[in-house]
Structure 1
Amino acid sequence: METPHHHDPKLVRTLILDELFDQSLYRALREISPDKDAQKVLDELVQVEIQHLAFWQKFFDSTLDTLDLGRRVKLRVIVLACRLFGTTAVHLILEAIEVYGVRKYLSLWKSYQGQPLGDALKGILMDEFKHEDTLVTQLTERKINAEKIRNIFLGLNDGLVEILGAVSGFFGAFGDAVMVLIAASTTAVAGSLSMAAGAFLALNSEKEVKTTESLKRQFLGEEAHSADMEEQPFGSAVVVGASYFAGAMIPVLPVLFGATNAVISVLTAGLVIIVVSTVLAFLSGMNVRRRIVMNLVIITAAVIITYAIGIAAKTLWGISV
């Protein structure tokens, strides 16, 4: 490229630092991964990220080559998680990084089509698509179900938000910790059973539909696709129900240990929702900050609305303990 291109400094910084972060992460994971195949993939990714970084530095005529504090902290946290949880975590991290990269570059390509930056993004996107396919294949071969892991965190999120709202409403209506504990615990159990049953019925119905379609194709002499499903109805129901109940217990435990109002439950739930939102956003390739803000807004609205309903019920219908 003969001449540098000038764009928003924030965009330039993001593109260069993201490539530098990915390169640094892949190098770090290469050092701690015991899986030979994963090491090979990581070696390939490091080389590609070196090319991408050099490309953007030349494209924007930039000498930026040092990670900022936020990315350095993020890098250490991810590497620590991979040390703790091993190969499964490494594969999930790789998949999440590639998904985020594809979404980011597609969004930029859409905005800059017909411009030099849009043309430059085409080559980067081709690399990203190839890497994603490679990583998905690696995950499939190892039977790592990323969707199931996401479902665990979604279950935690649902249980936490729903029962936090219930705790707030019950405190507004009853004002008595014992009654709140009984009512919230009962609601948590009922909710987890309902979620488990819903997951079981949904997957069981999907399995029946696939089986019917497979038999239909066999009858017509067509090529029949396997009706086997990676997610089994009963196992998935247990996972969904258990994760929902675990999330539901987060706002209930402060009451169990002596809280006399909803404040501690709200603060505890807020801290946990930040962690859960971060994990969910990262695994899904979403903007982490946007996901955290969205969930915090949701739980704030849930607390305010349910507490107001509890107060109204107590005032209008004379609920008392």
Structure 2
Amino acid sequence: MQRKPISPEARKQLIIAQRNEVTEYHIYKRLARRIKNTHNSDVLNNIAEDELRHYKIWMNYTGREVNPSKWDIWKYYWIARIFGITFGIKLMERGEESAQINYDQLAKEIPEAVGVSKDENDHEKELIKMIKEDKLEHIGSIVLGLNDALVEILGTLAGLTFALQNTKLVALAGIIAGIAGALSMSSSEYLSHKSEGNAEGAIKPAIFTGIAYLFAVVFLVAPFLIFASPFMALAVAVVDSVFVVFLYSYYISVANDQPFRKRFLEMVILSTVVGLLSFGLGYLVRVLFGIEI
């Protein structure tokens, strides 16, 4: 049966879609070969076959092979390996959504476009939800550690900056408070899970919480080890805290399909308010007790 010729605009969109599909096919296949978890590997292989099937559907209309994007294969493969499969895949899918492929318009000329669109929106998203990762299963513990560190340590550094006005002393106090806070948060997270009757699964959340806490501490204390001016160091620490909030807010928004702006603004405002209060408290303590170092 001879197919009806398609318009130049439709053909142009199909070629873009072909490149997306074959690129993602190679990304999924490469990830499936490299990961050890057989469940996740099977899920990735299933998604890869979907992508290849879509590619062949479009090729029936364009009548040409399309090469994958080697840069995208390399980029998203390593993003998935470093930051987690789910994050890497969803970030890639966001890129596909911005490719300006209008399936509703294509469906007027190509009936199969409806089925492909449904696969992209429903079937593949359901498959992605089946992927199991420690990073996502313990995302609550990671957020808990980061949030507490950013609020507590930034507040501590702000207060000590005005009370002591000595970068080395502030850094030393920040490191001590950070290590103590990380151990405290880890033990609290462990006991919390254990009290819920989940003794075997209590260790990983505790580890993730502690590591996240220490990660934030390193970012916040580092400026006090670099700059001579305590106020310059504090300013950089505040910028660092905003950067950390931006990173994990964006990560969560992509990996868990949550709104980015609301979470980001809430955390920035909370950290800023606590920092200003602590800064004022440090000044008050310095004046009341006449501390001069």
What range describes the TM-score normalised by the shorter chain of this pair?
Answer: 0.5 to 0.7
Contact 2:159 2:279 in 1 (8 A): yes
Residue 277 of structure 1 aligns to which amino acid in structure 2? S
Q: 1:151 to 1:259 in 2, by over 3 A?
A: farther
Whole-angstrom CA distance in 1 between matches of 2:22 and 2:268:
31
Residue 148 of structure 2 aligns to which amino acid in structure 1? D
Contact 2:80 2:89 in 1 (8 A): no
Residue 307 of structure 1 aligns to which amino acid in structure 2? F
Residue 165 of structure 1 aligns to which amino acid in structure 2? G
Whole-angstrom CA distance in 1 between matches of 2:172 and 2:266:
30
Q: Match for residue 83 of structure 1?
A: 78
- Alpha-carbon deviation of 1:318? 2.8
- Alpha-carbon deviation of 1:258? 3.5
Whole-angstrom CA distance in 2 between matches of 1:244 and 1:30:
33
- Alpha-carbon deviation of 1:23? 6.8
Q: Deviation digits for residues 194-247 of structure 1, max 9, x if unmatched?
A: 101111101111126xxxxxxxxxxxxxxxxxxxx7x62233322211221221
The 5 Å alignment of 1:1-321 reads: 26=24, 29-30=27-28, 32-35=30-33, 37=42, 38-44=44-50, 80-86=75-81, 89-94=84-89, 131-137=124-130, 139-140=131-132, 144=134, 146-149=136-139, 151-207=141-197, 232-261=201-230, 262-321=234-293
Higher relative contact order (CA 8 A, sep 6+): 1
Whole-angstrom CA distance in 2 between matches of 1:172 and 1:232:
42
Question: What is the Cα-based RMSD across aligned positions, in Å?
Answer: 4.1
Q: Point out the more displaced range, 187-196 or 145-154.
A: 145-154
Whole-angstrom CA distance in 2 between matches of 1:144 and 1:248:
22
Contact 1:171 1:180 in 2 (8 A): yes
Residue 320 of structure 1 aligns to which amino acid in structure 2? E
- Alpha-carbon deviation of 1:96? 7.9
Residue 219 of structure 2 aligns to which amino acid in structure 1? I
- Alpha-carbon deviation of 1:283? 2.0
Percent of counterpart pairs with the same letter?
21
**5+ residue gaps, structure 1:** 1-18, 52-74, 99-123, 209-228
Contact 2:80 2:88 in 1 (8 A): no
Whole-angstrom CA distance in 1 between matches of 2:228 and 2:271:
19
Whole-angstrom CA distance in 2 between matches of 1:289 and 1:200:
31
Residue 47 of structure 2 aligns to which amino acid in structure 1? V
Task: Give the TM-score normalised by the residue count of structure 2.
Answer: 0.63
Whole-angstrom CA distance in 2 between matches of 1:79 and 1:153:
29
Q: Deviation digits for residues 243-279 of structure 1, max 9, x if unmatched?
A: 2122112111111234422122222222233222211
Residue 84 of structure 2 aligns to which amino acid in structure 1? A
Residue-pair matches, total: 234
Q: 1:246 to 1:190 in 2, by over 3 A?
A: same
Whole-angstrom CA distance in 2 between matches of 1:204 and 1:85:
31
- Alpha-carbon deviation of 1:32? 4.4
Whole-angstrom CA distance in 2 between matches of 1:195 and 1:125:
44
Whole-angstrom CA distance in 2 between matches of 1:316 and 1:24:
69
